[in-house]
Amino acid sequence: MDDIRNVAMVGADGSGKTTVIEAALYNGKAINRFRPVEGGPAILGTDPEEAKRNITLSSAVFGTKWKKGELTLIDTPGEVDFIFDAYNAALVADGAVLVMNPVPPLRFEAVRAWQILEELGVPRILFVNGMDREKANLDEIMGELESFKGAKPVLIQYPIGKESGFRGVVDLIRNQAQIFTPDGKGKVSEEEIPADLQKQVKEIRPGVLEAIVEQDDQILEKYLEKGEVSEAELEKALEAGVRNRKLAPVVFGAAAKNMGIVNLMDMTFKLFAPPRESRQWKGIDPASSKEIARAPEAPFAGLVFKTQVEHFTGKLSFVKIVSGNLQSDAVVFNPGRGLKEKVGVVSRPLGKELHSVGTGEAGMIVVLSKMKEAQTGDTLTDESSPIRIQSYKSTQRLVSYSLKPKTRADEERISPAMSKLVEEDPSLEFRREAQTKELIISGMGQAHIDVTVEKLQRKYEVSVDLQPPLIPYRETIRKKISAQGKYKRQSGGRGQFADTWIELEPLGREKGFEFVDRITGGAIPRNFIPAVEKGIVEACEVGPLAGYPVVDIRASLYDGGFHVVDSSDMAFRIAASMGFKKAFADGDPVLLEPILKMKVFVTDEYMGDVIGDLNSRRGRIAGMEVENTSQVIKALVPMSEVVRYAADLRSITQGRGTFTYEYSHYEEVPGQIAGKIIEAYKKTKEQEK
């Protein structure tokens, strides 16, 4: 367990996370070749959509031997739409490497990745990749890193050479130059610090050392007394600073040329604690619902942090073993679902392949085959000692579409296919909207939806069209009104007769529907009253104005008449519906629309543009505040105006803005807009005739 490190690679798309991992696997001899140039096809990539977009869309786990240890690397998506995978990878990691682009400005995705690591308390190293690129700017990048909250970024290396002249780093702890070979072999040689950098290093180094020695009181005291400490003491203090999340060392390289990756691999073992020490796992005792801790020596417990479903390999469950050990073909208990299940083969990743290990031990990330019931987020345990570990906290899905199957066959296959995709990716949501009867898919962003639709076609041969979801408008009235609903029909035999007098009056917002029986003197027999209520309720389901549900009204039955032979439940249902529609038409009817309470997170430079855009969407600004490094704009905005807001906000803010929302209330739709909605409904009804 002490020789294992599980490391998550996080950062923005295009920062080179996958290339860093490829170089690491090559250095550890887990793969036998390494792509020679940046931008070439990823050796590790297998998903066609990833190859098409040249980005990582789903987390992937790779392993390699490194010196005396085992290094498991988790590649994560950089796109914010797929943040679910990055969160779960960080949750099970002993440490994380935040891979950064050396060309300003700092991408929002990098900031979001940092926030996740802070939230989960994950130690980290900042790896500035691509230092051989044009416009790589150390000073600007370090300036932007100062805005990070929490662990303090500290420069422990200084780059040698700029842009295409980048050839190594100065190790500021050992005060030694390290020169990298640019041939992709990953070799490192040590030299004296170049003469043109000696003065600069001499100026920088004292500040770096002070930041490090502050992490250990004894070492700090010695440093203050003597002005220097040993290399071993500096490494000990740096290790303490990283493991207690006070420091985040900043290092440099060029992964496409395998420069700096060997150093980075060594650091993951030196600076990140082994699984036994990296995290104290806690969870809920299913019996008492109390929080309990889980020691590595306790009976088996593991967290399913990823599920993968493929045609050929079937279902694979990726599990971080928190305690105990797990053998192939063992029977485990799933306390969240209250069932037992047999484990298939226990495997470990080596390169991009899986190798059976027979037994997985605490601290390992293993892959289990043939788990039918276990899903992402589930805890698997020994039945004698159950625990439920908190996994990813569901976040708000920002983009929704209506799915329209193209053929009858697609319609039949869509639900089981989407169920499998949701099992792989719980940040998706698939449901049938009760009011509009639409099949709705909701995700974290436009890219998330597009990738899901592509998978739906490629993996399950289900073709769909995407359409904006219908807005759940509602209808109501603004004044009190009465009307008669009389139904009389003679057809030669027994007739149909019912007479009702209905009074409608508006209620306050969110009051729903009330039915009041005010019949006296037997004007309508008691046994027909439920039929009257049912007729009105059915009429409310499809409003007379534009076909939307009618809400916030009180309907009172106060008079009427009946026939001892011809009256029936059906007659009173029809009569009540007729009376309701007449009264509603004369009750000053209006359309209501849902209003959302939104929070938009942006940087200062985009505040004006975002506020102007919200105003153009009929939004009302409700206030502003500062949260971490973002300005937060609070607004009330009609739902109909923000159906595509995720993509629009990204365009406005260059990808540096995000938002959350929640339902607030219903308001009247402005007359001009309501008129268009009503007119469209009338045209549709005409076409249906």
The residue ranges of every structural domain in the chain are: 4-278, 281-381, 399-467, 474-587, 593-672
pLDDT at residue 604, as a whole number: 86
Judged against a pLDDT cut of 80, whether residue 41 lies above it is answered with: no
Has domain 474-587 been given CATH number 1.10.357.10? no
Average pLDDT estimate for 634-662: 89
CA dihedral sign, ordered 61, 65, 71, 77: negative
Q: pLDDT at position 628, please?
A: 63
Q: Which residue has the higher pLDDT, 14 or 248?
A: 248
What are the CA-CA distances from residue 543 to residues 69, 539, 552 (Å)?
69, 7, 12
E-state strands within 11-123: 60-66, 69-75, 95-100
Mean pLDDT over residues 549-577, rounded?
Answer: 95
Percent of the chain with pLDDT over 90: 66
The architecture of the domain spanning 4-278 is 3-Layer(aba) Sandwich (3.40)
Q: Is the pLDDT of residue 551 over 80?
A: yes
Q: Quickly state the pLDDT bin for 85 (edges 50, 70, 90).
A: confident
Does 242 have pLDDT greater than 80?
yes
pLDDT of 147:
76
Q: Which amino acid, residue 41?
A: P
Exposed e or buried b for every residue in 185-201, given b needs 16+ CB within 10 A?
A: ebebeeeebbeebeeeb
Mean per-residue pLDDT, 485-492: 85
Instruction: Examine the pLDDT at 258 and tell me if it is beyond 60.
Output: yes
The sign of the torsion formed by the CA atoms of 206, 208, 210, 213 equals negative
What pTM was estimated for this model as a whole?
Answer: 0.79
Q: Are 399-467 and 593-672 in the same CATH fold?
A: yes
Q: What is the pLDDT of residue 394?
A: 60
Confidence (pLDDT) at 413: 93
pLDDT recorded at residue 637: 96
Please give the Cα distance from 100 to 110 (Å, whole number): 7
Give the residue from 470, 473, 519 showing the smallest Cα distance to 498.
519
In the numeric block, which tokens belong to residue 654?
């260059």
Domain at 281-381: CATH architecture: Beta Barrel (2.40)
* CATH of segment(s) 399-467: 3.30.70.870
Our CA dihedral for 499, 503, 508, 510, rounded to 10 degrees, sits at: 0
The answer to whether residue 169 scores a pLDDT higher than 80 is yes
Percentage of the chain exceeding pLDDT 70: 95
Mean pLDDT of the region 381-393: 86
Angle (CA) 524 529 532, round 5°: 105
- CB-CB contact of 62 with 349 (8 Å): yes
Q: In sequence order, what are the residues at sequence separation of 6 or more whose Cβ sits closer than 8 angstroms to the Cβ of residue 458?
A: 48, 49
Give per-residue pLDDT as tens, 593-622: 999 999 998 888 899 999 999 999 999 999
Mean pLDDT of the chain: 90
Q: So what's the pLDDT on residue 40?
A: 47
pLDDT digits (tens, 9 = 90+) for 322-357: 999 999 999 999 998 999 999 989 999 988 888 999
Q: How much is the pLDDT for 36? A: 46
- Write down the architecture of domain 593-672 according to CATH: 2-Layer Sandwich (3.30)
Query: Would you give the DSSP letter of residue 300?
Result: P
| Cis preceding-peptide flag for 105 (omega within 30 of 0) | yes
pLDDT of residue 166: 95
Confidence of residue 37 (pLDDT cuts 50, 70, 90): very low
Sorted by sequence, the CB contacts under 8 Å of residue 206 that are 6+ apart come out as: none
- Give residue 379's pLDDT: 95
The C-alpha atoms of residue 500 and residue 484 are separated, in whole angstroms, by: 6
Angle (CA) 29-33-35 rounded to 5° is: 130
The whole-angstrom separation of Cα 374 and Cα 362 is 19
